[in-house]
């Protein structure tokens, strides 16, 4: 009987304890936590992503050639060369970019990709983005995107098509040769090219992402 009376005496205290409304809070949605408030274990990368990429693509036998293009979020791709005397070749490997050999004769690093493969990523780049070209000897050069140009190809599937700059209010028609010299003769620039799709036509136009070096070439390992 004594124990039962003791239970009823304690019951109001117990009820008051469990019925007190919880304090209003805003849940933390940026970083998950355990129920006891401890933060989760965060795995720290032991090596910089760019360094890892350099180690993956470096090819000493191609010391003077670009072997990889790195963007910290959008793209990390190997670069291959065009076969000799095949300036129209573009790789169909979805993980690779192709260096445009004719542009290299003018001191321009030009990279090509089909718009249904790696080239679709080009449309996500914005002015101000930083791109890094890695060479076979593990040196690398950073570039900043300064300009993005778009052209309509009047004969979409011809490499000799005439073009119209979509930003030109006068819609002046220029030849393929004019366009080549306009884009691919600015020494020391980096240019990415792919096709623009429109109304079901994969080669309706061309887009050129133009970037310029922002500092001297850097030697690996990164200091």
Q: Does position 6 have pLDDT exceeding 60, yes or no?
A: no
User: 130 and 144 in contact (C-beta within 8 Å)?
Assistant: yes
Judge if pTM exceeds 0.75: yes
- Please tell me the distance from the alpha carbon of residue 94 to that of residue 47, in angstroms, as a whole number: 26
pLDDT-derived band at 5 (thresholds 50, 70, 90) equals: low
pLDDT-derived band at 219 (thresholds 50, 70, 90) equals: confident
* Burial classification of residue 204, based on how many CB atoms lie within 10 Å of its CB (0-12 exposed, 13-18 middle, 19 or more buried): middle
pLDDT score for 125: 97
Q: Does position 25 have pLDDT exceeding 60, yes or no?
A: no
pLDDT score for 46: 58
pLDDT score for 60: 86
pLDDT-derived band at 181 (thresholds 50, 70, 90) equals: very high
Interval 94-118: pLDDT, tens: 999 999 999 999 999 999 999 999 9
Q: What is the mean pLDDT of the chain?
A: 85
pLDDT-derived band at 216 (thresholds 50, 70, 90) equals: confident
In sequence order, the 6+-apart residues with CB closer than 8 A to the CB of 97 are 69, 77, 78, 79, 80, 91, 111, 112, 113, 118
Q: Is 41 or 150 the better-scoring residue by pLDDT?
A: 150
Q: Does position 213 have pLDDT exceeding 70, yes or no?
A: yes
What is the mean pLDDT of the segment spanning 153-174? 96
- Using DSSP, state whether 153 is helix, strand or coil: strand
Question: Phi-psi category of 81—alpha, beta or left, where left has phi over 0 and alpha has psi -120 to 50?
Answer: beta
Cβ contacts of 211-214, under 8 Å, gap ≥ 24: 211/131, 211/143, 211/144, 211/145, 211/146, 212/143, 212/144, 212/146, 212/188, 213/141, 213/142, 213/143, 213/188, 214/130, 214/142, 214/143, 214/144
For the domain with range 49-213, which CATH number is right: 1.10.10.10, 3.40.120.10, 1.20.58.710, 2.40.260.10? Answer: 2.40.260.10
pLDDT score for 40: 54
Q: What ranges do the domains of the chain cover?
A: 49-213
């Amino acid at each position: 009987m004594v124990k039962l009376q003791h239970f009823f005496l304690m019951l109001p205290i117990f009820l008051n304890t469990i019925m007190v409304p919880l304090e209003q809070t805003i849940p933390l949605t940026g970083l998950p936590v355990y129920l006891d408030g401890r933060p989760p274990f965060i795995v720290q990368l032991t090596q910089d992503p760019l360094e890892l990429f350099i180690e993956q693509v470096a090819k000493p036998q191609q010391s003077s050639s670009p072997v990889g293009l790195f963007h910290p979020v959008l793209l990390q791709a190997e670069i291959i060369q065009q076969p000799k005397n095949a300036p129209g070749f573009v790789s169909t490997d979805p993980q690779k970019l192709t260096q445009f050999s004719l542009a290299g004769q003018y001191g321009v690093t030009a990279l090509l990709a089909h718009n249904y493969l790696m080239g679709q990523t080009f449309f996500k780049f914005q002015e101000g983005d930083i791109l890094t070209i890695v060479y076979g000897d593990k040196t690398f050069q950073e570039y900043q995107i300064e300009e993005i140009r778009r052209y309509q190809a009047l004969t979409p599937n011809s490499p000799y098509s005439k073009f119209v700059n979509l930003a030109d209010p006068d819609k002046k028609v220029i030849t393929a040769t004019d366009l080549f010299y306009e884009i691919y003769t600015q020494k020391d620039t980096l240019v990415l090219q792919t096709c623009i799709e429109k109304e079901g036509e994969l080669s309706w136009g061309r887009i050129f992402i133009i970037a310029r070096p922002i500092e001297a070439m850097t030697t690996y390992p990164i200091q």
